[in-house]
Amino acid sequence: MSLKISLKPHERLIIAGAVIINGNTTANLIVENNVPILRKKDIMREADAASPARRIYFVVQMMYLDLENRVSYQGKYSDLVRDFLKAAPSSRLIIDEINEDVMEERYYPALKAAAKLIKLEEEILSSAIRTNVDSH
């Protein structure tokens, strides 16, 4: 099944590990085989993985994009997930969703679930800050 992608001017895209940067005009691409693809909005740089949930997202992203080194990311992923669950047991349902996708090698859906984990983390931190401010 083919995937049609429209790129805005100067938009970035990763296809099978290759970074593609569009030129000055809109471009349409058709990808005819099954390869890892991430649009700019879904790409996280390592420098931006500055929280536990973001580090989980980044490692899942690397498992998705870096096929040759996928196994090397699995141990790091397990450690990050274990630590996150200890700190935020309420994240169990989302973590289970990510785990299931990772185990089935459905990395793109795992990234979408990891994005939900980032939102949950932000909500938890925001709530903790509000609680701390209110108690003073």
Q: Which class for 22: exposed (0-12), middle (13-18), buried (19 or more C-beta within 10 A)?
A: middle
**CA torsion angle 83 99 106 56 (round to 10):** -10
Share above pLDDT 90 across residues of the chain, in percent, rounded to a whole number: 82
How does pLDDT run across 32-43, given as a tens digit for each residue? Answer: 998 999 999 999
Nearby residues of 118 by Cβ (< 8 Å), 6 or more positions away:
51, 53, 54, 57
Which is more confidently placed, 77 or 1?
77
Instruction: List the chain domain ranges.
Output: 3-40, 44-134
Confidence grade of residue 133 (pLDDT, cut at 50, 70, 90): low
> Considering the entire predicted model, what is its pTM?
0.88
How does pLDDT run across 49-77, given as a tens digit for each residue? Answer: 999 999 999 999 999 999 889 999 999 99
pLDDT at residue 134 is higher than 70: no
